[in-house]
Amino acid sequence: MIPVTKSYLPEKSNYIRYIERCYQNNQLTNNGPLAQELKERLEKYLGVRNLLLVANGTLALQVAYRALGVTGKAITTPFSFPATSSSLKWEGIEPIYADIDADSLNLCPQKTRVAIEPGVTAIVPVHVYGNPCDVEVFDQIANEYNLKVIYDAAHAFGVKLNNKSVLQWGDAATLSFHATKVFHTVEGGAIIFKKKEDYERACSIINFGYDNGEVVGVGINAKMSEFHAAMGLCMLDEIDMVLQKRKEVYNRYYEAFDGHIEMPVWKIGATRNYAYFPVIFPSKSALLKTQEHLNEAEIFPRRYFYPSLDTLGYGRSEQETLISRSKASRVLCIPMYPTLPLDVQEQIISTMISSWDAGVEGMPAELKEKGLIEG
C-alpha cells in the first residue's frame, strides 16, 4: 500500500539523546529548556521573531485570533483544510467565504475586498500547498479597512518570498507541526507575531491566562511539551536533507509529466518547500478515473482539498465560490514524502501515464512515447 504521505522519523539515537535531557532535567512541559531551544533555533532557521510554540496548528489559529482581538466575522478561503474555518467558528467568529484565484488557488484579494461588510474584523488567507498569497495586496486592504490579517501558513514552513520568510507577513502567521507536515513535532504548531506585545499576550493565553504568576485574563492550555520539542529538535537537525529529498521527488514527477498537467501557478519570487504534489485534472471524471487506476495498484492519493469548505455549512458566502468548488472537485495530491523510494515513484508515474494512455478525457496520451524517468 502506497499512502499519499508518510511521516518522517528522524534518527532514533538522536531522539533518545534529546529525551535523555528531559529525564535529566525532570521537566516535562511548561516552556522547559528543550522548548526554549526549539523556539530559538526555529526563529533563526526561519528568519523570524516572536515565534510562540503551541500544542497544534489548530490551537495556533485559535490563539492568534484571541491575541489579536478578532471578533464578529472574518473573511477566509473555502479552499483549505477544515481547520482554517472550524477554528474561526469554534472561537465564535463567523467565517465568510470569498472565492479563490483560479491560478494560485489562494484566496483572491479582489474578491475579499468585495466581501467586506460591517462586523468583519479580520482576513484569514492560507498559503495553500506552501504557495504564498498575494501578501502585498492583503496588506493594503487590511490597512485600508483596519482589519487584522492572520495567515494560515500550515503548509509554508521555510518558504521565502523575495529572500524573506513569508511568515513575516500579516499580524500573525500560524504553522502546523503535525506528523504529516514537512517539519513536525508529532503534534504541534507555532504562531509568528508581527508585534512583540501580541506575542506576549499570547504567551499568557496559552498558559491559562497566567502572567508572572497571576491570572490576568481567560486562557487555555496550548503549551508544547518537552517530548514534542525533542522531536522538533531532531527534525531540525535533519531538515536540510528532508527538504532536499522532497525536492528530488518533486522534480522527478515534474519531469515525467513534462508540463502536460495543470498545477497551481507559483507566486513570483517565492521558494518552494515541496510539501505537496497537486495535480489539477480537466474534469472530475478524469480525476476519478485516474484515482481508480491508482487505487487498483494499491496507490492512495488524496483529494486535497475536497470538498470546498463553503459546502460544509458552518460559514456563509455572499458571493458564489465557483472557482473553489470547481478546483476542489478536480485536484488530487499524489504520494509525496522524503522517503518515497525511486522504484515506487516510477510505479506511481507509470500507472498514471498508462491510465491516460488508455484514454482519460483531457489527459495527455503521448507521455508513454517519451519513456519514463531514468534512475
Which residue ranges make up the site for ligand PLP (CB under 6 A)?
56-58, 80-81, 83-84, 126, 152, 154-155, 176, 178, 189
Residue closest to 371 by CA, chosen among 353, 352, 344: 353
Tell the smallest beta-carbon distance from residue 83 to ligand PLP (Å).
4
Point out the residue whose Cβ comes nearest to ligand PLP: 57
Tell the smallest beta-carbon distance from residue 54 to ligand PLP (Å).
9
Residue 189 vs 256, nearer CB to ligand PLP: 189
Residue 55 vs 348, nearer CB to ligand PLP: 55
Residue 275 vs 286, nearer CB to ligand PLP: 275
Tell the smallest beta-carbon distance from residue 49 to ligand PLP (Å).
22
C-alpha cell at 270: 517565492
Residue 126 vs 249, nearer CB to ligand PLP: 126
CA 294 to chain centre: 25
Residue 178 vs 267, nearer CB to ligand PLP: 178
At residue 233, the 3 state secondary structure works out as helix
| Inter-residue long-range contacts of 325-330, CB under 8 Å, 24+ positions, other chains counted | 325/78, 327/79, 327/100, 327/102, 327/105, 327/280, 328/78, 328/79, 328/303, 329/284, 329/287, 330/280, 330/281, 330/282, 330/283, 330/284, 330/286, 330/287
Residue 278 vs 352, nearer CB to ligand PLP: 278
Tell the smallest beta-carbon distance from residue 7 to ligand PLP (Å).
12
CA-CA distance, 180 to 276, in Å (whole number)? Answer: 11
Q: What share of the chain is helix, strand, coil (3-state, %, to 5)?
A: 40, 15, 40
Tell the smallest beta-carbon distance from residue 228 to ligand PLP (Å).
11
At residue 90, the 3 state secondary structure works out as helix
Tell the smallest beta-carbon distance from residue 350 to ligand PLP (Å).
29
C-alpha cell at 301: 492519493
